[in-house]
């Protein structure tokens, strides 16, 4: 596996490009993996701290979520907005080289939020768009 300059993210209904997975590729500017757990912290009247966690076979259940900053055009942003809140097929930018089998790397995520849209300048045609992806994989 190598770090590639793009991710694959598209709706499952769009289909795949032979071995390359989801059709749409998005250029990556910044990648922030976020490992999350489901937990609650309680404090008793005597001051003791208790943590309740969701477990899977005795281990804390972890999910791999992401925040990505992507570079795209205005028309690509409009397409991305159609996926907002939808369950999508996703391949991280750490994947096998293009032209090789990507299908085993496909993950199910929800495009939870388009967090920010940054115009790079009045003469620039590209935008930097920050999105949050939530892991939909069930252990």
Cα(109)–Cα(102) distance, integer angstroms: 16
Cα(29)–Cα(128) distance, integer angstroms: 8
Cα(73)–Cα(54) distance, integer angstroms: 40
**Ramachandran class of 15: left when φ > 0, alpha when ψ lies in -120 to 50, beta otherwise:** left
pLDDT at 88: 92
Each residue's pLDDT tens digit, 62-108: 888 999 999 999 999 999 999 999 999 888 887 777 777 677 778 89
Per the document, the length of the chain is 139
């Amino acid at each position: 596996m190598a770090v590639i300059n793009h991710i694959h993210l598209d709706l499952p209904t769009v289909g795949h490009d032979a071995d390359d997975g989801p059709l749409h590729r998005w250029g990556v500017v910044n990648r922030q993996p976020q490992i999350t757990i489901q937990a609650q912290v309680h404090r008793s009247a005597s001051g003791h701290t208790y943590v309740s966690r969701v477990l899977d076979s005795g281990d804390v259940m972890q999910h791999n979520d992401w925040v990505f900053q992507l570079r795209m055009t205005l028309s690509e942003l409009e397409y991305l907005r159609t996926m907002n809140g939808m369950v999508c097929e996703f391949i991280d930018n750490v994947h096998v080289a293009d032209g090789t089998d990507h299908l085993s790397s496909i993950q199910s995520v929800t495009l939870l939020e388009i967090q920010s849209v940054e115009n790079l300048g009045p003469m620039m045609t590209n935008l930097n768009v920050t999105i949050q992806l939530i892991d939909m994989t069930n252990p």
